């Protein structure tokens, strides 16, 4: 992977806090979001795997409006380009033809699960899917991922969702911007609404391959380096969500600084 310094835009903390507060306070929104994050292992100055997830709920136990866009802000000084993740690339056409098993092993970047709901008459249909994150061809000089959602018909068909890593204002180091397409479901039923999502980006459960002296060996790639110092308040994450009904909401969380010896 080409090493590229993480770009930063100094809009200031108040810009992001204001955006999140305005999103969450949108009077037209009936969806709320909860965000989770983890760093495994959390050892300062050492590589790690980032875990992130969200849960979407709606008022009155209704099915939420489908998510159409997500911006996940991650902490500063997490240099994706300095990891060994995504040494190879996979394309949306390969995923469409062969699924995640058709991608090169060295393009894999993480795994996870997702759950969706679809209102169908008086009932709610629940569906689960497996998540595979792969490195996609670089676009416009930015690291691009494909989030492959392997659902099952008739509710969820497999789909590849693009995500691009872009700059973000302080105190964040960047953002993963995901454009979520509407996913048709059963005939006569609304589009699927993702209500839970959990995934990793990092070497946990990954095995890459390398040819050495004519032999293919497997190894675990280097993860995303953590900084040598923990920022005040821990490693902060935030996210904003757009929905099909035009509403928006936001959520924040933080991974606490490790204790002594961490």
> What is the rounded distance in angstroms from the CA atom of residue 260 to the CA atom of residue 192?
45
Q: Can you tell me the distance from the alpha carbon of 19 to that of 21, in angstroms, rounded to the nearest whole number?
A: 6
Would you say residue 95 lies in a domain?
A: yes
Domain range for residue 92?
13-253
pTM, two decimal places: 0.84
Is there a contact between 141 and 161 (Cβ–Cβ < 8 Å)? no
Q: In the chain, how many H helices and how many E strands?
A: 2, 14
- Give the separation between CA 46 and CA 251, rounded to whole angstroms: 27
Q: What confidence score (pLDDT) does residue 49 get?
A: 97
Q: What is the pLDDT of residues 129-164, one digit of tens each?
A: 999 999 999 999 999 999 999 987 666 778 999 999
Q: What pLDDT does 142 receive?
A: 92
What per-residue confidence (pLDDT) applies to 247? 95
Task: Write the DSSP assignment of 142-203 as a string of letters.
Answer: EEEEEEEEE--TTT---EEEEEEEE--BTTEEEEEEEEPPP---STTSPPPEEEEEEEEESS
Is 8 within a domain? no
Helix (H, G, I), strand (E, B) or coil at 100: helix
* pLDDT for 129: 93
What are 35-69's pLDDT values in tens digits?
999 999 999 999 999 999 999 999 877 899 999 99
Q: Is 44 helix (H, G, I), strand (E, B) or coil?
A: coil
218 belongs to a structural domain: yes
Residue where the block lists tokens 């095995």: 207
Residue 4 located in a structural domain: no
Whether residue 28 lies inside any domain: the answer is yes
8 A C-beta contact, residue 113 and residue 198:
yes
In this prediction, the residues of the chain whose per-residue pLDDT falls under 50 are 1-29
Chain Cα centroid distance, residue 149: 12
Output the pLDDT for position 206.
96
Q: Which residues pair with 210 in a beta bridge?
A: 217
Number of domains the chain contains:
1
């Amino acid at each position: 992977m080409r090493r590229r310094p993480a770009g930063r835009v100094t809009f200031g903390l108040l810009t992001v806090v204001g955006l999140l507060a305005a999103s969450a306070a949108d009077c037209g929104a009936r969806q709320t979001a909860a965000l989770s994050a983890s760093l495994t292992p959390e050892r300062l100055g050492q590589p790690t795997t980032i875990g992130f997830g969200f849960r979407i709920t709606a008022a009155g136990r209704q099915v939420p409006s489908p998510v159409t866009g997500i911006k996940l802000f991650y902490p500063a000084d997490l240099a994706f380009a300095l990891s060994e993740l995504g040494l190879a690339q996979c394309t949306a056409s390969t995923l469409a033809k062969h699924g995640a098993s058709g991608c090169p092993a060295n393009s894999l970047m993480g795994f996870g699960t997702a759950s969706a709901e679809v209102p169908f008459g008086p009932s709610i249909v629940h569906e689960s899917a497996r998540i595979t994150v792969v490195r996609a061809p670089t676009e416009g000089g930015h690291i691009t991922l494909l989030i492959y959602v392997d659902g099952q018909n008739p509710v969820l068909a497999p789909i590849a969702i693009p995500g691009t890593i872009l700059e973000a204002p302080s105190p964040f180091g960047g953002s993963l911007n995901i454009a979520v397409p509407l996913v048709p479901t059963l005939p006569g039923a609304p589009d699927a609404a993702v209500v839970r999502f959990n995934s990793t980006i990092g070497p946990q459960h990954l095995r890459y391959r390398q040819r050495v002296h004519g032999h293919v060996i497997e190894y675990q790639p280097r993860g995303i380096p953590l900084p040598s110092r923990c920022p005040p308040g821990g490693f902060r994450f935030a996210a904003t969500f757009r929905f099909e009904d035009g509403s928006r909401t936001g959520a924040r969380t933080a991974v606490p600084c490790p204790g002594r010896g961490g």
